[in-house]
Structure 1
Amino acid sequence: MNTQDRLIESTRELLWERGYIGTSPTAIQRRAKAGQGSMYHHFTGKPDLALAAIRRTAEEMRAKAEAQFSVPGTAVERVTAYLRRERDVLKGCPIGRLTQDPDVMADPVLRAPVDETLAWVRERLTSILAEGRERGELDVAMDPRATAATIFAVLQGGYVLARAADSVEPFDQAITGVLGLLTASTPATRE
Structure 2
Amino acid sequence: MYSWRMSTSDRLIESTRELLWERGYVGTSPKAILERAGAGQGSMYHHFKGKPDLALAAIRRSAQELRATAEGVLGGPGTPYERIEAYLLRERDVLRGCPIGRLTMDPEVIADDALRAPVEETLDWIRTRLAGIVEEGKEQEQFASSLDSDEIAATVLATVQGGYVLARASGSPAVFDAGVRGLLALLSQEVDPAVQEGWTPCSTSCP
Match of 2:174 among 151, 169, 174: 169
CA deviation map 1:111-160 (0-9, x unaligned): 00000000000000000000011001100101111110011101111001
Q: Structure 2, unaligned stretches of length 5 or more?
A: 1-5, 195-207
Paired letter, 1:20: Y
What residue number does 1:6 align with? 11
Cα shift readout 1:55-86 (whole Å, capped 9, x = no counterpart): 00000000000000111111110001111111
One-letter amino acid of the counterpart of residue 167, structure 2: A
Partner of 2:203: none
TM-score by length of 1: 0.98
Once residues 180 and 143 of structure 1 are traced to their aligned partners in structure 2, the CA distance between those partners, rounded to angstroms, is 17
* Corresponding residue number in structure 1 for 2:125: 120
- Structure 2 distance, partners of 1:58, 1:181, is 29
1:28 aligns with 2:23: no
> In structure 2, what is the equivalent of residue 183 of structure 1?
188
Question: Which amino acid is the alignment partner of residue 172 of structure 1?
Answer: D
Aligned counterpart, 2:144: 139
> Once the two structures are superposed, what CA deviation does each residue of 1:150-175 show, in whole Å capped at 9, x if it has no partner?
11101111001100011010000011
Report whether the alignment pairs 1:56 with 2:61: yes
- Larger CA deviation: 32-41 vs 148-157: 32-41
Query: RMSD value over aligned CA atoms?
Result: 1.4
Greater share of helix: 1
Between the aligned partners of 1:131 and 1:124, the Cα distance in structure 2 is 11
Q: 1:17 aligns with which of 6, 19, 22?
A: 22
Counterpart CA distance in 2 for 1:94 and 1:38 is: 24
> How many Å apart are 1:188 and its aligned residue?
1.2
Decide which of 66, 82, 104 is 1:77's aligned counterpart.
82
Runs of 4+ in 1 over 6 A off after TM superposition: none
Q: In structure 2, what is the Cα distance between the partners aligned to 1:150 and 1:14?
A: 29
- The structure 2 residue matched to 1:88, chosen from 76, 87, 93, is 93
SS of residue in 2 equivalent to 1:11: helix
Q: Which of 31, 42, 48 is the equivalent residue of 2:47?
A: 42
Query: Alpha-carbon deviation of 1:2?
Result: 1.1
Deviation at 1:36, TM superposition (A): 2.4
- Number of positions where the alignment pairs a residue of Structure 1 with one of Structure 2: 191
Is there any run of 5+ residues in structure 1 with no aligned partner, and where? none
Matches within 5 A, 1:94-105: 94-105=99-110
For residue 94 of structure 1, report the CA deviation from its aligned partner.
0.6
Q: CA–CA distance in 2 between the matches of 1:153 and 1:144?
A: 14
TM-score with structure 2 setting the length: 0.90
String of CA shifts for 1:71-115, please: whole Å, max 9, x gaps.
Answer: 111111000111111111000111000000000000000000000
